[in-house]
Amino acid sequence: MMKRFLFVLILPVIFFSGCATARIPAYLVDQKPFTERFFTDHQRTLHAVQQALNELGWNIEQEMEPGIFEIQPGYSGWKKTLLITNVRIVGRTLVCHERMNIYVRSHEDISEVEIRIFKVKNWGIFKTKSFGNKKIAGNFFQLIQKNLEVVL
């Protein structure tokens, strides 16, 4: 009886251990990125991206030149900005940790926004990691478009 009682007490501790230990790097590698083109300049696009992040509940941790992490030879002469979000915790029963990297690249009046999403799901004893999320990317691009239309 006592062993069963201890087992019932210890099982949730074992099952939910590791919730706070999900480590997600700031820079996300180029796996399953989502890209969309917008016909506007860099500043307007960057502002629309920042608004969309805010509307979706994401906070920007860092804003920088992406050349620090990777060389993008096809984009020489383009203005480039990398936005790195904070890790966001989602879910009540199944805890997920998510992070996004957003690249804004512009040349004249054409801007390209690339989103990289990384998610860690905590299943208690083990964790699964995945790149990309079509639903988040689609919602994000729609909000950017909406924000650009409001600015124009």
Quote the CA–CA distance of 35 and 14 in Å, as a whole number: 40
8-state DSSP, 26: S
Q: Dihedral sign, CA of 68, 69, 75, 76?
A: positive
Q: pLDDT tens digits for 46-105?
A: 999 999 999 999 999 999 999 888 887 888 889 999 999 999 888 766 788 999 999 999
pTM of the model: 0.80
Residues 6 or more apart in contact with residue 89 via CB below 8 angstroms:
95, 96, 97
Give residue 43's region: left, alpha or beta (phi > 0; psi -120 to 50).
alpha
Q: State residue 72 phi and psi, 5-degree precision.
A: -115, 85
C-beta of residue 48 within 8 angstroms of C-beta of residue 148:
yes
- The pLDDT tens digits of the residues spanning 26-57 come to 899 888 999 999 999 999 999 999 999 999 99
Looking at residue 77, what is its pLDDT? 87
Phi, psi (deg, nearest 5) at residue 81: -140, 140
DSSP-based three-state secondary structure for 152: coil
Query: Two tokens at 20?
Result: 């706070």
How far is the C-alpha of 112 from the C-alpha of 103, rounded, in Å?
8
